[in-house]
Amino acid sequence: MAQLGENQYGKARVRLSRIMRQGYRHEFNEWTITVLLQGEFAAAFTAADNSSVLPTDTMKNTVYSIARDSHAATIEQFALEVGDYLLRSNPQVSGARVEVQEKSWQRMHTGTENDATTFRMGGPEVQTTAAAGSREKDWAIQSGIDGLTILKTTHSEFTGYIQNRHTTLKPSTDRIFGTCAKVQWDFEAMAPDFAGARQRITEAILRVFTAHHSMSVQHTLYEMAEAALEAAPEIARIKLAMPNLHHILADLSPFGQDNPNHIFVPIDEPHGYIEATVER
């Protein structure tokens, strides 16, 4: 006989833009929110009884309504506001997960100063957070960056690896190292300085990537994670996923030309994929 297992439902990809007007100076955010609820919903699945179901359209409207009065300065704070409201207002809900992604809009620099009301997209990456909590457990916050696209043209090697009859890759002591990284970190404390931690973690990751003489993606990944843990004592662990986006040296010999690490063919599929969690 079949029985219902773990289940949840909610509203995904709720798009929201917000202007915080502070006199002549504006702050601008573009967020994408996903809300997922767990609770007493078995009858909706097994008996076609919707009496305990909060419509997902209502969840969408709730997000906009909370945003109207919110003074949240970070996506973490906003996720907590939405999650707290849903738990408080719906006794049939036992747990909630609120995910928020933020696009990297940055203030436009014009001449000698940053403009008060004009913005440009800072990069392909998005800032992320997920707040998960229940009536029995405090909120757990996992934040991060998705799509952090970075590249260095030297100070990257790959040698000393296993070679067998299927190996065609040549050892390299000077190669391009490019990645589109996904970074996630778990906070120890309930109410840390979210914005400050994000800035310190990001700066540490980028600093190490820039300065580190890499012997492999694994080698640099670990150094980046270790630096992030040192920079942000309020996090318990950090996870990095770093695809190795290859740039293959072009063969110019048919044209009678040499190629001293000058012309490459960029490829993103297939790519190497390296992932690790580093903890205290």
Three-state SS for 236? strand
Helix, strand, coil share of the chain (percent; to 5): 25, 45, 30
Beta strands in 111-234 (DSSP E): 113-134, 140-152, 177-187
> Is the bond preceding residue 270 a cis peptide, omega within 30 degrees?
yes
Q: Considering only CA atoms, which of 180, 120, 123, 177 is closest in space to residue 147? A: 180
Joined together, the tokens standing for residue 50 give 């919707």
Q: Considering only CA atoms, which of 183, 180, 105, 181 is closest in space to residue 144? A: 183
Q: Considering only CA atoms, which of 174, 169, 139 is closest in space to residue 157? A: 174
What b/e string do you get for 157-174 counting C-beta neighbours within 10 Å, with b at 16 or more? bbeeeeeeeeeeeeeeee
Catalytic residues: 11, 56, 246
Query: Dihedrals φ, ψ of 18, to 5°?
Result: -135, 135
Three-state SS for 36? strand
On whether the CB atoms of residues 239 and 222 are closer than 8 A, the answer is no
Three-state SS for 130? strand
